[in-house]
Structure 1
């Protein structure tokens, strides 16, 4: 089925040991799917970059932002005054 539905120029399966995988990982890739470990451990990666906080109609909802330090806030025109007031209160309390 793989040959029938996947373009061989787009997907490659490579089996190898440390030497082969080291050489492969030195290349620039769009995506790598890697499977192999004696023990699998869930991982959360903090990769830097820009970290927005999105605030809209679900005001008290955690939208999944887990970054250590958000850089900026994205909100709607309707919620901007509410966000600004809440930030002022928090800063004054701090």
Structure 2
């Protein structure tokens, strides 16, 4: 089974919320992270991940790095309300 690693970085202390949907053995589990501060890390066991990340604080930059099976996805957004939609299979 694959391990999915998510690293959140950017403006120190930036506040964000995240909604993750992780598929593992054909079942999907949802995780809600509310008002989390950068830096933060998450790790899930699964074959696929879908996520939405939104910046909640003003004037901040947020960077999201997702790794699975040697593959890496990197995205970023800036400013309150900035939203990223992410998917990895």
Shared fold (TM-score, shorter chain, > 0.5): no
Q: TM class by shorter-chain length?
A: under 0.3
Bigger radius of gyration among the two: 1
TM-score, normalised relative to structure 2: 0.25
Q: Name the structure where strand makes up a greater proportion of residues.
A: 2
**TM-score when scaled to structure 1?**
0.24
